[in-house]
Amino acid sequence: MRRGIPVSPGIAIGTAYVIHQIYVSPSSKRLEDFEITAELANYETARDKAASDLLALERKVDAQVGHEEASIFAVHQSILRDTAFTKKIRGWIVDERMAAPAALHRLLGEYTALFTKTKDDYLQERLNDVRDVILRLSGHMTEVTKPQSSIEGPLIVVTDELLPSQAVMLGDADVQGIVTQAGSQTSHAAIIARSRGIPAVSGVKKILRKVKTGDTIVVDGRYGTVEINPGIETLTAYRKLEREFFDLKDKLAANRDLPATTVDNVDLQLLANINGENDAIAAERMGASGIGLYRTEYLYLTHQDVPDEEQQYSVYRKIIEASPNREVTIRTLDIGGDKTVAYLGHDHKEANPFMGWRSIRLSFEHPEFFNTQIRAIVRAASDVPDSTTRIMFPMVTTLEEVRKLRSMVRRAYKTLETRGIKTRKIEVGMMLEVPAAAVSIETMLDQVDFVSIGSNDLVQYLMAADRDNPKVSHLCQPLAPPVLITLKRVIEACNRSNTPVTLCGEMAGKPGAFLLLLGMGLRRFSMSPAFVPSIKQLTRQVSIKQAEQILETAMKFKTTAKVKHYMAETVGELAPDLQLLSSR
């Protein structure tokens, strides 16, 4: 048994599928004499295509973002043209009869062994550049590896960290569980797993040394445990739990068309957090009433280059059309922290990336790039009849920022008008995740049409603890008394001013946290689509008065441990069957 962080609840049993950093299957087969010339040509063709890619990217980023940001692709071109780099690959193909992908794989191993011995940050970044170039070359020579047809499903994906590009690679594979060596409750892997309702465990140290493709794996997303090739008795016990898990999911899915109404007939809005069109379709299937958060950064993270206005417009329009009731709140680019793209200047490391150059701070520095996204959102919202689309800006800290954002939205409308494009006004809101904004929320409410609370970041900023740092992540507890006090104050301020307020962090999908938020006066909750059925079930089993009484008791406790213990007991009494869907 290996232990990690429980990030997506449930039980999954399947066959391990291990993804390493190079997403190709380099053949170990030695080339025949007659194949060497063809393999050299294969490499040169891939090199030409990669060079063409990089040149196009450099020009596009230079035009849309800036010359300095485009320079990273000039660096990649210089690596691609490097004489020593090319000489080694050609030498291994000719002298050792290696296939080009296998030669690239070997070269990356050599560079990794060499560069990781140094503490120099500059050389570490150059290793990342080399890796990017090799991945690009590999992609032009071989098809991206997908789960092999010879591996019987269901599959448990095991990797260092599941990136958005890898998630796209998996496509329609029968993935029933995810295990990562790195990551946290708010990592890419965690978000992807929860959005699909897949049990997952992150932060399992050295798991890639312990498991190989084809092993039988059990993932317990409630307790954060992973069993590798378990014995018959253990496997039988987990299969029983897995059946109970699936039976409960099927039972809850049956309530998709029922309203989210409390025992005392108060209607709630249970919305979904999504990363793309497939998630929007899943939200409809799970009975969500709309989309409370569309994370547009996943469009950039999975796109081969800089998505232009037309490409963004097309994607946003599809999202709106696929969303339940055609209601969607679109968050502008939230890059930074643990999500970076090279063409926005993130080719260097920051000492404190979550508190640094990210989100709207980055967007303000690239106004033309930012305005392109705003125009695409406005166009998509205007072109879908009978839809309710809102635009939301992340990491707002000051009133001055709100006013500047309003000004940029007005500028986008004027630009579209000069082009003769018809538009309609859409609501403009802020994501509240910075303590400074929480403290001064009353001063901002007359400048925004709505507020969305991003509890994931708000918690880590309040507790001064990086949620991805295992040494301090234990402090990032949404049920910590300081967090509850802050949330209660913000929700009450929004309600007093009749400003719609939604919470769209991970708290919204956790039964205990949901009950407390309900007691605070929150009526709009946005969560991973897979959590909508269970929260709807809980909604229909509780009254507002009960929630207020639960909150009153919880607020008397002085420690996080006591709040958590009390809420676990309370949920167990109110809805014992939901325990299988709750991470500990």
pLDDT tens digit sequence for 508-563: 999 999 999 999 999 999 998 989 999 999 999 999 999 999 999 999 999 999 99
Whether residue 28 is contained in a domain is answered as no
| Residue 52 confidence (pLDDT) | 87
**pLDDT at position 349:** 57
Which of the four pLDDT bands, split at 50, 70 and 90, describes residue 31? confident
Give the model's pLDDT for residue 432: 97
What average pLDDT does the segment 247-273 reach? Answer: 91
Q: Does 222 lie in the same domain as 315?
A: no
Q: Evaluate if residue 186 carries a pLDDT over 80.
A: no
Q: Higher pLDDT residue, 370 or 491?
A: 491
Same domain, 467 and 568: yes
CATH of the domain at 102: 1.10.274.10
Is residue 329 predicted with pLDDT exceeding 90? Answer: yes
Is 23 a residue whose pLDDT tops 60? no
Give residue 189's pLDDT band: very low, low, confident or very high (50, 70, 90).
confident
- Give the CA angle between residues 12, 16, 22 to the nearest 5°: 130
d(CA 338, CA 355): 11
Assigned domain for 491 exists:
yes
How does residue 122 score in pLDDT terms, banded at 50, 70 and 90? low
- Looking at the fold, whether 114 and 170 belong to one and the same domain comes out as no
Rounded alpha-carbon distances, angstroms, from residue 186 to 263, 320, 392: 32, 25, 20
Please tell me which residue in 346, 366, 494, 504 is annotated as part of the active site. Answer: 504
State yes or no: is 565 an active-site residue. Answer: no
Residue 344 lies in a domain: yes
Of the candidates 105, 188, 346, 366, the residue annotated as catalytic is 188
Residue 394 and residue 531 in one domain: yes
Count CB atoms within 10 A of the CB of residue 224. Answer: 21
Considering the chain, what percentage of its residues have pLDDT values greater than 90?
47
Number of separate domains in the chain: 3
Mean pLDDT on 415-437: 95
Within this chain, do residues 39 and 9 fall inside the same structural domain, yes or no?
A: no
**396 and 516 co-located in one domain:** yes
Based on the fold, state whether residues 224 and 273 are members of the same structural domain.
no
CATH of the domain at 168: 3.50.30.10
Check whether residue 379 and residue 486 sit in a common domain. Answer: yes
For residue 353, whether the previous peptide bond is cis, meaning omega lies within 30 degrees of 0, is: no
Q: Does pLDDT of 143 surpass 60?
A: no
* C-beta separation of 328 from 283 below 8 A: no
User: Is position 96 within any domain?
Assistant: yes
Q: Does residue 222 sit in the same domain as residue 283?
A: no
Q: In CATH, what number is assigned to the domain containing residue 432?
A: 3.20.20.60
Same domain, 194 and 51: no
Residue 169 has pLDDT above 70, yes or no: no
Tell me, what's the pLDDT at 116? 66
Residue at 179 is within a domain = yes
pLDDT at 575 over 50: yes
Structure tokens at 410: 């007005």
Where does a domain end: 232, 250, 268? Answer: 250
Q: Which residues contact 385 (CB under 8 A, 6 or more apart)?
A: none
What's CA 67's distance to the chain center, in Å? 29
Q: Outline where DSSP puts E strands in 323-465.
A: 327-331, 388-393, 427-432, 450-453
pLDDT at 32 over 60: yes
Task: Show the domain range for 13.
Answer: 2-22+147-250
In this prediction the pTM is 0.77
212 pLDDT band (50/70/90 cuts)? confident
Q: Is the pLDDT of residue 148 over 70?
A: no
Contact 534, 252 (CB under 8 A): yes
- Concatenating the DSSP letter of every residue in 497-537 gives TT--EEE-SGGGGSHHHHHHHHHHT--EEEE-GGGHHHHHH
pLDDT at 336 over 80: no
Residue 426 vs residues 328, 414, 450, 455: alpha-carbon distances, Å: 11, 14, 11, 24
528 and 388 both lie in a single domain: yes
Task: Please compute the mean of the pLDDT values over residues 63-80 and round it to a whole number.
Answer: 77
Out of 191-200, 260-269, 278-287, 339-348, which region has the weakest mean confidence (pLDDT)? Answer: 339-348
Pair 321, 245 in one domain: no
CA dist 393 and 399 (Å) reads: 13
Write the burial class of residue 119 (CB in 10 Å: 0-12 exposed, 13-18 middle, 19+ buried): exposed
Instruction: Using the Cα atoms of residue 325, residue 327, residue 328 and residue 329 in order, give the sign of their dihedral.
Output: negative
Q: Is residue 246 part of a domain?
A: yes
Annotated catalytic residue 188: yes
- pLDDT confidence band for 117 (50 / 70 / 90): low
How confident is residue 147, by pLDDT bands cut at 50, 70 and 90?
low
Bridge partners (DSSP) of residue 86 are none
* Residue 92 within any structural domain of the chain: yes
pLDDT of 65: 65
Q: How high is the mean pLDDT of the chain?
A: 85
Residue 27: inside a domain, yes or no? no
Q: Which of 107, 141, 175 is the last residue of a domain?
A: 141
Q: How confident is the model at residue 358 (pLDDT cuts 50, 70, 90)?
A: low
pLDDT above 60 (res 342): no
Give the range among 116-130, 155-169, 184-198, 511-525 with minimum mean pLDDT. 116-130
> Which of 213, 234, 250 is a domain's end point?
250
8 pLDDT more than 70: yes
The DSSP element (H or E) to which 272 belongs, if any, is strand 269-274
